Structure 1
Amino acid sequence: MTTIEVLTVPGCPNAPATLDLLRTCLDRLSLTIPIQQRIGDYPSPTVLINGIDIMGTPTGSAPACRLDLPTEDRIMKALRTWF
């Protein structure tokens, strides 16, 4: 079973836009896969498909806002790879 997760730290200003972009990309591909959102001590926002970070390994594991934000191109490429 395929899983899609978005990992965020509380109050991350980039998390809502990343969730919206991910939903838009899923809609464009006509995919109806639920998104699990996890809030905790993560590099934020991180998009995981089947446990794999679509942006590659983050530069750190500390809870902080990421500078390498998931882009539409990266999300679409990752979704097309799995589906």
Structure 2
Amino acid sequence: MRIELFTAPGCPNADAARTLLNDRLAKLGITAPIVDHIGRYPSPTVLVEGIDVMRQEADVPIGDACRLDLPTAQRVLDALRAIAETDRKPLKRRAR
């Protein structure tokens, strides 16, 4: 599972987003690492398997600005659960 946190330098919401993400991972018993990116990003942005938990887009826009749609506990939890459930499903074998 790939989990990424994008923040701009000095973002006042970065620590809260990191704490939220760690709390949700712990709640689900997931031990995946969080990949931190610091730079010119809308901050904070949380991606789970490349999908923004708030916008459901695959690309992270460029530009250092505070986000108004901060990651919520429920959105992070939903995204993590969706990927965890997908990872647990057995692969279907092709009929020969």
Identify whether the pair has TM-score above 0.5, normalized to the shorter chain. yes
Structure 1 residue ranges without an equivalent (≥5): none
Structure 2 residue ranges without an equivalent (≥5): 85-96
Look up the match of 2:33.
34
Instruction: Return the offset for 1:50.
Output: 1.2
Instruction: Return the offset for 1:63.
Output: 1.1
Q: Tell me which amino acid in the other structure corresponds to 1:48.
A: L
Distance 1:62 1:32 in 2: 30
Distance 1:6 1:42 in 2: 10
Give the structure-1-normalised TM-score: 0.92
Look up the match of 2:43.
44
Distance 2:29 2:68 in 1: 29
Q: Tell me which amino acid in the other structure corresponds to 2:40.
A: D
Distance 2:51 2:74 in 1: 16
Deviations 1:32-80 (A, max 9, x none): 000011000100000001111110149x642101010000010001111
Look up the match of 1:54.
53
Higher-RCO chain (CA-CA 8 Å, sequence separation at least 6)? 1
User: How many residues are aligned here?
Assistant: 81
Q: CA RMSD in A?
A: 1.4
Say which SS state the counterpart of residue 47 (structure 2) adopts.
strand
1:1-83 equivalence runs, <5 A: 2-56=1-55, 57=57, 61-83=62-84
Identity of aligned residues (%): 52
Distance 1:50 1:28 in 2: 19
- The runs of at least 4 consecutive aligned structure 1 residues that moved more than 3 Å come to none
Deviations 1:19-39 (A, max 9, x none): 001000000000000001100
Q: Tell me which amino acid in the other structure corresponds to 1:62.
A: G
